[in-house]
Chain A
């Protein structure tokens, strides 16, 4: 992966839309890795939910053996969270690209389609949240997309665990209010 911690931190501070070509390629590499692990491990949907933590943990173990590019496990988790956000956003946008000649009403009710709407909407609000407070957006991304524990978030962002927890609550509340509108 050939990256140093500064580079990752810089990357993590960017929105998926602003990635350079190389950075997007790195994201793509992570994506492929996540996918491959998912396939090998036959990650099952448990109660309708995919276990992202398991996925990322697995990815970390696999990547460590190959190179030590990531400063530590926490940075890698953060990176995966961002990758996940990027992947989902891309997938959602791609789903929404599809236009319909025959107006298929059933499709609008399809979960993937609805969730794509949701993701795009969330992404829009995340962009405003970053304008409001970049830190809130980061904490939210790591937790929501990467299921990172708060001590890991605190370590990556060099803040106290307490602050990470409060920021997460704050961001989640703010986004919920915004999405509900």
Chain B
């Protein structure tokens, strides 16, 4: 365009100066054929005009095609081989009539829009939609490119293709499907017979055909329950169950197709085998273990456990092809590293180098430290310090918005690089910065709930810190960092349920924090406060009220001193928050071991302080979250003491705050969980007041939220558990309202969800409980009975549970 502009400017100027009488001549003088732009479009595009406007007499567009033969009649479509026969084009096409099964829901306009969407999916690996529309009877029809080729499985088995030949075909398939997914379309019917292999310049190239289901599914009215369809074995379980699907349904199908093709016709439909039998068959067929891992990752029951996208699957297939470690094993980096080093030391070293050069900071690590002069080391340490500072700050922010996952790669890489350094050249500053880096990595893993890696990183941090324990010049940072590591470790250990180790770690943190403040009185006391408050919670959890009380009191004293207004009447916001949290701990202590009235009073104090923090900054995510949690707990306590109306007020405010946080941090699942909890409490309040309708509304909103969380949480047994509990709770109300069939549907979903989880972790008492209750409500007593016994043995049979048992005659 830019090269045309000067011409245009010149022409415009010339015309303004003296307009030529005869522009034909003017153009010829410029060496331009005037016929290029004639007087009217009728002169330059007559035939096109005729096609566009000539209009065959009320002939449907279909009349352009002459049907040659019928190819197949499936349950849902008729397919014909045809020729375009309007005398304009001569080509062979496939015409497909889609059965009008969901015709009532099919809106004409929507169908045409969706067809356009598919027509725009221009990719060599996707059959091109040439034309389409609705017949007079509203039956959708499509005209597709005719691909003259074999089906994927026939091609592979006839050619006796092994994994090395098959995987490149799947790489091409991943590309095509990635293209499709990025445009918001899910195929939903991938199977070997829907992939044709065509030859392009003697090279086999797979083409995905038949977007029939994708089309029909996309044409449903929003909110309409999608009828279950798809090919058993190749269609993902959520699709067959009629639940919402996304691109991960296609990932499942890809895994099954890969398995099917690699078993070379030993099995008609490998997808119908149970997972372990499938793996056995694949092993027997000599399929490489890593490819089996890829297949397994594709075909996990829960979509969140599969590859998230086609490009990650593609990466792993490519990794396999080049003997790189798989993403599928990313939660086992040591395993991966060991395997890779064992297999290909040279490639692995090269890969590390490549990774390293990708990031400017980490590049420093890979230089050969033997040759580093003191100066370079100082520079490196300064770089580390900067990186640590950045990641510390970044970490806090990412935790708040719920996106720590973006740091996972950074953490893994920094661990790999830290491990590769030569420690003989370290000075004290390097030891310290490396320890901080390990601590940061550990925090990331902890936030991602990869506890064993978090603990390993913290151990490394402590080992590094030991090197500077005796260094007088680094006394202060040593104490500070060591206390930090021990506190963080205590937190991770607590989530792992390791009581004794939690205690000793926190006590060590307390000791170090205490020494820090004694030796350096100008230090902030936050580490000391943190150790006390955590010990308080720890002792409460393990039923040691006196020790808990002592630590909470100590935390409270520190916080009170530090949050007191100065001579200008100003408070330090962070310490006001800490004091609020100390009151919260006191409230729970009172609730567990004292009087409920004291608990309510303490929560009230905590809330007043929380309101103060919001006066400092009413948009601060942490303050808002603290405020909302306290409101939730206040409402809970009020409900317990029968103060339903006050509880209502608290919970309304909690919900409003929660919805605000939801807008500020849409990806923070913990916050979302807390909001779901608000709705649950609101539902309980409504239930107590006998307003079943309102209760149902609240429970359903909670159910929606926990459904979202369960879907978004990749690993999450506990999110699935929360979801199952909400399903059961909602079902319970439905039963009371006499809506038995809807209730049964929800209960069945809860059972189906919890069963594999309970099998996965048979000793978890909460999962036992979450499976037992819906089974009882469904009247499936035989299945429930062993679970009930286990729940009883675990001591989870509270009043509610006991009441349920007697109601169903199970006591």
Q: Which residues of A contact B (CB under 8 A)?
A: 34-36, 38-39, 45, 48-52, 55, 84-85, 87-88, 91-92, 95, 97-102, 104, 106-107, 110-112, 115-116, 118-119, 122, 125, 128-129, 132-133, 143-145, 147, 166, 169-170, 172-181
The residues of A that contact B370 with a CB separation of less than 8 Å are none
Identity of the chain B residue whose Cβ is nearest the Cβ of A133 in the assembled complex: B12
Contact B8 A174 (CB under 8 A): yes
Q: Does B11 contact A (CB under 8 A)?
A: yes
- C-alpha gap A145/B1 in the complex (Å): 23
Question: B23, B32, B52, B119 — which one has the most chain A CB atoms within 10 A of its CB?
Answer: B52
- C-alpha gap A82/B162 in the complex (Å): 58
**Of A35, A52, A112, A170, which one neighbours B41 at CB under 8 angstroms?**
A52
- C-alpha gap A181/B33 in the complex (Å): 11
The residues of B that contact A129 with a CB separation of less than 8 Å are 8
Identify 13 residue pairs between A and B in the complex whose beta-carbon atoms are under 8 Å apart, listed by A's number.
A35-B55, A50-B53, A88-B41, A111-B48, A112-B47, A112-B48, A115-B47, A115-B48, A118-B44, A147-B42, A173-B26, A174-B7, A177-B8
- C-alpha gap A87/B130 in the complex (Å): 18
- C-alpha gap A133/B5 in the complex (Å): 11
**Of A48, A101, A111, A116, which one neighbours B147 at CB under 8 angstroms?**
A101
The residues of B that contact A181 with a CB separation of less than 8 Å are 3-4
The residues of A that contact B91 with a CB separation of less than 8 Å are 98, 100, 102, 104, 107
The residues of A that contact B26 with a CB separation of less than 8 Å are 173
- C-alpha gap A119/B37 in the complex (Å): 11
- C-alpha gap A95/B3 in the complex (Å): 29
The residues of A that contact B30 with a CB separation of less than 8 Å are 177
Contact B128 A116 (CB under 8 A): no
For chain B, the count of residues having a C-beta within 8 Å of the partner chain is 54
Within the complex, what minimum Cβ distance (angstroms) separates B54 from chain A? 7
The residues of A that contact B53 with a CB separation of less than 8 Å are 34-35, 38, 50, 55, 87
Q: Which residues of B contact A (CB under 8 A)?
A: 1, 3-5, 7-8, 11-12, 15, 19-20, 23, 26-27, 30-34, 36-37, 39-55, 57-58, 88-92, 119, 122, 128, 130, 145-148, 198
Identity of the chain A residue whose Cβ is nearest the Cβ of B35 in the assembled complex: A176
Within the complex, what minimum Cβ distance (angstroms) separates B94 from chain A? 11
- C-alpha gap A169/B11 in the complex (Å): 11
Contact A45 B50 (CB under 8 A): yes
Contact A172 B23 (CB under 8 A): yes
Q: A84-B41, A176-B36 are in contact. Are A50 and B11 (CB under 8 A)?
A: no
**Of B36, B41, B46, which one neighbours A45 at CB under 8 angstroms?**
B46
- C-alpha gap A96/B251 in the complex (Å): 32
- C-alpha gap A35/B147 in the complex (Å): 34
The residues of B that contact A132 with a CB separation of less than 8 Å are 5, 8
**Of A38, A84, A173, which one neighbours B54 at CB under 8 angstroms?**
A38
The residues of A that contact B5 with a CB separation of less than 8 Å are 132
- C-alpha gap A166/B17 in the complex (Å): 12
- Cβ-closest 9 pairs across A and B: A115-B48, A91-B52, A115-B45, A111-B47, A176-B37, A49-B42, A35-B55, A180-B32, A176-B36
Contact B34 A169 (CB under 8 A): no
Besides A38-B55, A39-B55, A91-B51, 15 new A-B residue pairs in contact (Cβ under 8 A), listed by A number: A39-B58, A50-B50, A51-B42, A52-B42, A88-B41, A101-B145, A107-B90, A110-B89, A119-B48, A128-B4, A132-B8, A169-B23, A173-B11, A174-B8, A178-B8
